[in-house]
Amino acid sequence: MNAISFAAMKQAWADIEAHAARLANVALLDLFADPNRVRTLTYDAPHLTADFSKQRIDPAALAAFEKLAGAADFDGWRAKMFAGDVVNTTEGRAAMHWRLRDPNAPADVKAVPAEMAAFGDRVRPEIDAIVHLGIGGSDLGPRLIMDALKPLKRHGLDVRFAANVDGADVADAIEGLDPKRTLLIVVSKTFTTQETLANAAFVRAWGPAHLAAATAAPEKAIAWGVPAENVFAFWDWVGGRYSLWSSVSLVCAIALKERAFERLLNGAAAMDAHFQRAAFHKNLPAISAAVQMWNREALGHGSYAAIPYAERLRLLPAWLQQLEMESNGKRVSRDGAPLERSACAVTWGAAGTNAQHSFFQLLHQGVEEIPVEFVVNAGPQEGPASHRAKVYANALAQARALMVGKSEAQALADMQAKGVAGAAALAPHRAFPGDRASTMMAIDALTPEALGALLAFYEHRTFAQAVLAGVNPFDQWGVELGKEMANALLPALEGAPAPADVDASTAHWLERLK
């Protein structure tokens, strides 16, 4: 295992910046003068293909990132993670979410999915609905899985989610359900999460027939009232936003048929094997991490848009926001030193084609370039057969339009050919700068295996970015301060005097909102 070489990292960044200066003003279309560009910049991994040829990057620039990876000890940190060593340095923990889908996992880890499946078989005849309560990683992953794999949902079983402590969310979750035919699942790693326990107390008072929990603190769930046999544990080496592979997804194991949850784990394991074994220059999560960092730190694009052209993946951007920004939204290195470069872009997005009629105006004609990551389902699709070609046509057209654009002269000529009045004045409004970067990715089908591989790909890309940036992606201290302050302010909103040390604005709003 190599030690991190800060001098080599500095030199690698100097090389990366030199490549950025070389390519900054090169038109994307001109890069396709290389007849092998698409083949060279297309990478395959289990169930997933990614084409980076529309990015303003080339093999020489990627080679500089490979040098950066060597200097940052990418191989060493990857090996430490898969060995179960401490990689979450601020909490003194391993990060072994990958072990949850490892075919060679220890017996106690392998036992949990079997216990979840057995519980599902036992409880399904007695329920018509499941209410899943969690927040953050205890909500987004299972919610995404259920949405993405909806065709595999068991007929007649209603699945509801609530996360927000706004009472409307949990009220909606139980509306119209029969408590005598409902299973409540409470998901909290610590079983102390304020929002989740507030929602859980409300639903428990409503009287659901069955209670279950997923937690790393089973004794607290049992003390709260969940029968011990209905408490499904996971471990403190599973971070919340990496936990969908655990009992956190109990709802999925119960509600999905055809061994969907097991198959999801198998797909993720295949991606794990690729990430663990492939050299950096052939490693799809690692190359994608380099492209993300290139756009952000070398070319200065502070955000990117994740656009799944698959309605079943509409929640992917929300899940990615937590994964990437909670993991790598850091300002200091593992050693506590201030970062010279950011470790994370702003992640945002929505499903195409809806997004085209929303914020794509900004992507095409806004002042700043925002790289786009398109994700398509290349396999069979639901609904009318004719729609499949239309969704592909739109995804490909948007990527091409971002790159090719339309000059003011072209816009003017087009309008003049059509006899549009006032064409000269309108031309600037109908011109597109183009030369805007994107990645095209495709899963081979929207199966449990492919979904598992896709989500594991993003987990590993996030880890690879963290290694290249020198940060710990497995803690999230940034969420704690607001929680502490909320707990301090809550009594004032329930009738107690405002704390003496609050600022005037906060004191004003405490009085107004109590």
Q: Concatenated DSSP letters for 435-496?
A: ---EEEEEES-SSHHHHHHHHHHHHHHHHHHHHHHT--TT--GGGHHHHHHHHHHHHHHTTS
Give the mean pLDDT of 319-342.
96
Residue 264 and residue 501: Cα distance in Å, rounded? 50
- With tokens 């279309």, the residue in question is 29
The pLDDT assigned to 79 comes to 98
Give the mean pLDDT of 34-63.
98
The pLDDT assigned to 339 comes to 95
pLDDT at 502 over 80: yes
What are the residue numbers of the active site?
326, 357, 483
Percentage of the chain beyond pLDDT 90 is: 97
Residue 221 and residue 232: Cα distance in Å, rounded? 10
From residue 470, alpha-carbon distances to 230, 241, 323, 342, 478 in Å are: 40, 20, 17, 10, 17
Give the mean pLDDT of 294-302.
97
pLDDT band at 1 (very low <50, low <70, confident <90, very high): very low
pLDDT band at 283 (very low <50, low <70, confident <90, very high): very high
Report CA Rg, the chain: 25
For residue 171, the tally of other CB atoms under 10 A from its CB is 14
Question: What length is written for the chain?
Answer: 514
Percentage of the chain beyond pLDDT 70 is: 100
pLDDT at 391 over 50: yes
- Do the Cβ atoms of 75 and 2 come closer than 8 Å? yes
pLDDT band at 2 (very low <50, low <70, confident <90, very high): low
Name residue 160's amino acid.
R
Residue 231 and residue 123: Cα distance in Å, rounded? 14
Give the mean pLDDT of 381-408.
97
Angle at 177 between CA 351 and CA 223, to 5 degrees: 95
- Do the Cβ atoms of 466 and 239 come closer than 8 Å? no
